Amino acid sequence: MEFLNAAILSGLIYDGIKTGASIGVDMLKTKLRAWTIDDSELSQLAKHLRDAGINEELNQLAIERRITEHQPLCSLIQKIRPSNSEMHVKQASGTGHNICNTGDSNITVGDIIVNDKG
């Protein structure tokens, strides 16, 4: 996973707003699951996005440009690091289901659900 930068953040925001989400803490929390960021940083990020004039009417390039031009926003996203969770994909051939889940996700095959978290 890469460090968060203006291009990645603008893409995540644009993906959220094109599906009808509004820019706020809840949308950011959903989109930034792969990075380590706490609720206070999410609130600051949402505030800086509003201060930079980022809204649902902008395209991805315009969002990226506004992020890049807003120094407090750039300073904040430089502090956001990728989470430490790793995902490994293992494949095997043969009969039956070979499932390995080391991430935070569920894997469903038919009526079988695998989740390492419990």
Regarding pTM above 0.95, the answer is no
**What was the pLDDT predicted at 1?**
47
**Residue 85 pLDDT:** 61
Contact partners, residue 76, CB within 8 Å, separation at least 6: 41, 44, 45, 48
The domain segmentation of the chain, as residue ranges, is 6-82, 85-118
pLDDT digits (tens, 9 = 90+) for 19-44: 888 889 999 999 998 888 889 999 99
pLDDT tens column, 53-71: 999 899 999 999 999 999 9
